[in-house]
Amino acid sequence: MAPSAAEVAPLQVAAPTTAAEPPASTWVRESNLHWYHRWMIRVLQAGPIPRHVAFIMDGNRRYARKANIAKAEGHSAGFEKLSETLQWCLEVGITEVTVYAFSIENFKRTQEEVDTLMNLARDKFQRLLAERDKLHERGICIRIIGNWDLLEPDIRRSIAEAVLLTRHNRKAILNVAFAYTSRDEITHSIRTVAQAVGDGQLEPEDVNEELLTRCLYTKYSAEPDLLVRTSGEVRLSDFLLWQSATTVMYFTETLWPEFTIWHLLGAVFYYQRVRWRMVDVRKALDQYTDEGVASSCGKRNERVGRFLEYVEREEEHHLVRLVRGTGIK
């Protein structure tokens, strides 16, 4: 459910919202919240907090034009806001975050801008690896979802290493959608299942919604409870279409680099107000899925279980090959 601008305004106070920016770019920040931020968080925590929040981080280029800086600086400012927002989410109690970092459609931008974004990605993923100790200390699991075949070999190697290094961390999860669209994700899932049917691993009657869901890039994640999009656009831009049937959606005019803790708290407050509208829808969908699963025979469950174990093993082996440099085409 999406609020209008008049219906829900971000919470505001006259005091400054953040302390001074840290001197170096980082994925793992220390808290920059003041006592009044923490007080508001405690108030919100009296109600339900979304466990999984997705962000469409829109507005970097418009921010660059507004600030009269280069596009590359606007994208860098967007990354700094991402790392800051991740820390806020942890403090609010949000344990999983999915961010739309780079769409497959973004490859249609000018070559100069695509090269700039890829170079920024190289730098940030290398920085991520350099901060592995902090990631382990805080128990942060990194997952990169998207079509890796569209990326350069060195980027694939870096993200494969990051995924392998953090795969056993469970306190918090960050899913970075990179070279991603929902249509590509759904196509990938269908291809995976169709190949298994063709190879004899599955029977045609084994295919259902649950199986396709478990072959998506996001198969290890719960559906997002809340989706936040900045910059005033009111659309999903091919992001998590399969997963968002009962997601509460919150749109703000604010450009992503100007997103503040108050906008995040305002989104959580809106979620608390309207989430009940989705409860009946979720129950109906779960009942339909549960009935389909309950009617499955034992042999079918065995086939599906073996197939999903096979897919998981193959994915892990592929990650290892990428890190070693032997799995790059």
pLDDT computed for residue 56 by the predictor: 98
Q: How many domains does the chain have?
A: 1
Q: What pLDDT shows up at residue 22?
A: 44
Tokens representing 306 are 């073996």
Going edge to edge, which strands form the sheet with 140-145?
140-145, 172-180, 96-103, 52-56, 226-229, 248-251
pTM: 0.88
- The 10s digit of each residue's pLDDT in 195-236 is 999 999 999 999 999 999 999 999 999 999 999 999 999 999
Phi and psi (nearest 5°) for 180?
A: -125, 140
Is the residue at 252 inside a domain? yes
Cα gap 328→302, rounded to integer Å? 33
Query: What pLDDT is stored for residue 278 in this prediction?
Result: 83
CA atoms of 91 and 293, how far apart (whole Å): 37
pLDDT for 287: 73
Residue 320 located in a structural domain: no
Residue 199, in any domain of the structure: no
pLDDT confidence of residue 23 = 45
Burial of residue 188 (CB within 10 Å: 0-12, 13-18, 19+) is: middle
Give the residue ranges of the chain where pLDDT is below 50. 4-23
CATH number at residue 160: 3.40.1180.10
CB count, 10 Å around CB of 242?
A: 16
Tens digit of pLDDT for each residue in 239-274? 999 999 999 999 999 999 999 999 999 999 999 999
Angle of helix 71-92 relative to helix 261-274, nearest 10 degrees?
A: 50
> What per-residue confidence (pLDDT) applies to 249?
96
Kind and range of the H or E element at 313? helix 298-324
- The whole-angstrom separation of Cα 115 and Cα 132 is 26
- The confidence score (pLDDT) of residue 297 equals 81
Give the separation between CA 289 and CA 283, rounded to whole angstroms.
10
Task: Please tell me what DSSP assigns to residue 107.
Answer: G
Using the structure block, give the residue that is written with the tokens 């730098």: 123
Task: In whole angstroms, give the CA distance from residue 99 to residue 16.
Answer: 26
The verdict on residue 87 lying in a domain is yes
pLDDT of residue 286: 75
30 token code pair: 């220390």
Q: Can you tell me the distance from the alpha carbon of 234 to that of 57, in angstroms, rounded to the nearest whole number?
A: 13
Q: Is residue 121 part of a domain?
A: yes
In a domain, 211, yes or no: no
- Please indicate, yes or no, if residue 23 is contained in any of the structural domains: no
pLDDT of residue 279: 78
Q: Using DSSP, how many helices (H) and how many strands (E) does the chain show?
A: 11, 6
- Quote the domain boundaries for residue 247: 35-180+217-293
pLDDT value of position 119: 94
Instruction: Give the Å distances, CA to CA, from 46 to 53, 140, 268, 272.
Output: 18, 25, 12, 10
